[in-house]
Structure formats: structure tokens, C-alpha cells
Amino acid sequence: MSKVVVITSGKGGVGKTTTSANIATGLAQEGLKTVAIDFDVGLRNLDLVMGCERRVVYDFVNVIRGEAKLQQTLIKDKRVESLYVLPASQTRDKDALSAEGVGRVIEELKEMGFDYIICDSPAGIEKGAQMAMYFADEAIVVTNPEVSSVRDSDRVLGLLAAKTSRAELGGQPIRTHLLLTRYSPAMVKKGEMLSVGDVLELLGIPLLGVIPESKAVLQSSNKGTPAILDETTDVAQAYLDVVSRFVGQERQHRFIEEEKRGFLGRLFG
């Protein structure tokens, strides 16, 4: 059975595209056939983060308009078997995504046997964001421990509960998960950053994982290689845990407490 998962947040710059790239890559590494769809029409970026920008020929809007076939539009990843990217269009036409068209493409992806369809939402709560969440079975709400991000996440949770196919048809509500990114345990300890507990209390949805603030995120997007592929970094470890939890395995939460460093570590760190 295919699962449609939206990666959303409301606020921009919190790590939706990074998370989409890493979770899609991680799921594919588990042998699950996965596609990541970029819903950010006009501001395509998932292709860059995934390192396949030079292989884009057709895009999501071409498929919706019947100008290209889905098979010829999907970009197959060169590093991980069973991983595909469906790039966004660079058109400035805001109404390029229709519920009917998006639904048709998602249906076709399901027929092609994809296990996971990851929808990378644009920022905001306009059409693109609404289309990205409309057909979702599950939602990963990416939040930074910061006031505007938490507030926007709460607003998005409201939309997930009201303006989606499941909400309108009266089915099971969308399963929501919190992913806290850019977390700095040292700042939390000093009382300068909202803690995991604070955010959980405010938003009231289960925690999928915590991704620590790290240089590795920028370095991986510089290279166009999702961070999860370099297992030596803390970010990769955190995303590997997230993927395992997402497919139902137990993993202890890490990166919540400040790393204990020895005397020498402190001297040379």
C-alpha cells in the first residue's frame, strides 16, 4: 500500500526540503520504492538539494497538463536504488497545480507501486502548500525551536485537520508527526532556546525526532548529496533514526542533551 506523506511547516527556511531529501533517501535505502515530489512551483529546489538539477527535462506541471508522461519526467537517483524525484515547474502560473491534476498524478504513482510518495510543501499556506497536503495520509511538521516557526506549525496543523481530502471526506484524520530541526542542546541548557518539551507541550503532537543544528546540512546541500548518505555526521544519524521510527522501529531519542565532552575535547574543541 502506498503512503502519501507531506513535509510541511508553514514557515520558510526551517528545513522542509532538507527533510524531504533525507527522509526520501533514507526510505529508499531501506529498499522501499520512494518518490519525492517538489510542490514549490516557481521556486524549484528539491532537485538542487538532491543533486539532480542538470537532469531535469520535464516537470510536475508538464505531467499535469499532459505535455509529458510521468515515466519520462521522474528522475531516477544515481546513488540509491528505488529513489525518484519529480521536480517542480519553474512556471510563474500560480494556478498550475489543480486538485484534480495532482490527484491524478498521485494515483498514477500509486499504480506504479511506489511505497512512499513524499510531498515537499512550499512555505506559506497558499495553493501550493494546500495541494501538497491535500492527499496526504501522514504529515511531518518541520519546526524550529523558535516563536514564529512554532506558531506557523500550529496554524498548519489546523489546515491539516480541516482542508485536506481526509478531513473533507470524513475519513481517519491525517497522522501528524513533529520533527524539530536546528536544535541546539547547549542553548536550551542555558535557557536561550525552547526545549523539545516546550514545543511538544505547545503543539501537542507526537515527536518523530530531533535534528541538531549542524554544518553538515549546508555542506550536503552545497554538494547536492543528502546528509543521510554520510553516516559519520550527527545529522545523518538523526535522520537515520527518524526514518527507522517512521517505518515503525523503536529508536531512542538522541541529540536532545548536550554532548558530554572530556577535558581535552573542551581544550581543543
Partner 1 sequence: MSFFDYFRKRPKSASLAKDRLSIIVARERAGGSRNDRADYLPQLQQELLAVIARYEKIDISNVVVSLDRHGGSEVLELNITLPEGSQPPASGSPRPSFA
Binding site for partner 1 (CB under 8 A): 146-147, 150-151, 154-155, 157-158, 161-163, 188, 190-195, 198, 202
Nearer to partner 1, 111 or 198 (CB): 198
Smallest gap from residue 157 Cβ to partner 1 (A):
7
Please answer whether residues 24 and 158 qualify as being in contact, where contact means their C-beta atoms are separated by less than 8 angstroms: no
Nearer to partner 1, 91 or 184 (CB): 184
Nearer to partner 1, 76 or 189 (CB): 189
Q: Which residues pair with 141 in a beta bridge?
A: 8, 178
Exposed, middle or buried by CB within 10 Å (0-12, 13-18, 19+), for 148?
exposed
Smallest gap from residue 202 Cβ to partner 1 (A):
5
Smallest gap from residue 148 Cβ to partner 1 (A):
10
Nearer to partner 1, 147 or 247 (CB): 147
Smallest gap from residue 145 Cβ to partner 1 (A):
8
Helix axes 127-134, 147-162, angle to 10 degrees: 60
Ordered alpha helix ranges (H), the chain: 16-29, 46-50, 60-64, 70-73, 99-111, 127-134, 147-162, 165-169, 185-189, 196-203, 215-223, 234-246, 263-268
Smallest gap from residue 162 Cβ to partner 1 (A):
5
Q: What is the DSSP letter of 31?
A: T
Nearer to partner 1, 170 or 262 (CB): 170
